[in-house]
């Protein structure tokens, strides 16, 4: 599953809000919360690299 640009921005916003809210509530030490936020972060990073490499490969083929 590859996210488009708009979906990536939405997920990034959710991640930022998640860090903000969890920081305010002082629950960032909770293992489950930390795991969910970390998985969201890695999903965004992997998606950025996949879309970058895909675009680069398409440009090379042209």
Q: Chunked in runs of 10, what are the mean pLDDT values of the chain (62 residues)? A: 82 95 94 94 90 69 64
Report the alpha-carbon distance of residue 62 to residue 26 in Å, rounded. 51
- Examine residue 40 and state whether it is found in any structural domain, yes or no: yes
Which pLDDT score is estimated for 55?
66
Q: Which pLDDT value is given to residue 25?
A: 95
What pLDDT score does 58 carry?
Answer: 66
Instruction: Tell whether 32 is covered by a domain.
Output: yes
If you ran DSSP here, which 8-state letter would residue 5 be given? H
- How many domains does one find in the chain? 1
pTM of the predicted model as reported, rounded to 2 decimal places: 0.77
User: Does residue 30 lie in a domain region?
Assistant: yes
| Containing structural domain, residue 35 | 26-52
Classify residue 6: in a domain, yes or no. Answer: no
pLDDT at 3: 77
How many other β-carbons are positioned within 10 Å of the β-carbon of residue 32? 8
* Residue 53 confidence (pLDDT): 72
Phi, psi of 14 (to 5 degrees): -65, -40
């Amino acid at each position: 599953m590859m996210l488009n640009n708009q979906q990536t921005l939405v997920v990034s916003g959710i991640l930022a809000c998640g860090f903000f809210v969890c920081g305010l509530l002082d629950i960032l030490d909770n293992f489950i919360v930390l795991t969910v936020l970390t998985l969201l972060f890695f999903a965004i990073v992997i998606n950025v690299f996949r879309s970058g490499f895909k675009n680069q490969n398409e440009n090379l083929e042209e």
